[in-house]
Amino acid sequence: MAASIVINTLAKHEPPTQQQFAAAADMVARFAQSWNAPQAESLRELMHEDTQNLIPPMTAPADREGVVQYFRQVLERFPDMRLDIIRWAPTGDMVLIEWLATATVAGSPLSWTGIDRFRIRGDRMDQGQVYWDTRGVAERVAQLMQGQQGAAVS
């Protein structure tokens, strides 16, 4: 017998107050600006010192300095990486941002979509989670790198 999937249609939806909406809009604008020409250190300004953010492939949330260090490594590998916001939505003190990431790998363009979900406290995030298809991106990066190595051998 197949297991049934139950969807809780009564899940809590908390619309933002006007103040929460304004804080979310400001945060999204600063997020977009930071990812237009990203520098790991500039991302620090989006987070409280005690933030707890979980970003693939992390196995545990990182504080602000851990997130900055993580993006130093990412941007070292993908120096032209950019995120463009596709859409965003606030709910209470949380905001969801759907984005398109682009980067160049082995001379070829690479893009993927993902979602950031974070809680806003004041004018910065203090908790976040990021979602994207890590396996799919890793496989495409490996294919592009392998193609570059094959071209170099030819």
Domains observed in the chain: 18-147 (3.10.450.50)
- Indicate the range of 3-7, 22-26, 105-109, 144-148 predicted with least confidence: 3-7
Q: Would you list the DSSP string of the chain?
A: -PPPP---TT----PPPHHHHHHHHHHHHHHHHHHHS--HHHHGGGEEEEEEEE-TT-SS-B-HHHHHHHHHHHHHHSTT-EEEEEEEEEETTEEEEEEEEEEEETTEEEEEEEEEEEEEETTEEEEEEEEE-HHHHHHHHHHHHHHHHHHHH-
CA trace torsion 105, 140, 57, 7 (10° rounding): 140
Q: pLDDT tens-digit profile of 46-104?
A: 999 999 999 999 999 999 999 999 999 999 999 999 999 999 999 999 999 999 999 99
pLDDT at 1: 61
Kindly report the average pLDDT of the chain as a whole number: 92
> Would the pLDDT of 148 be above 80?
no
Q: Is the dihedral of CA 84, 108, 135, 80 positive or negative?
A: negative
Place of tokens 């969807």: 7
> Would the pLDDT of 150 be above 60?
no
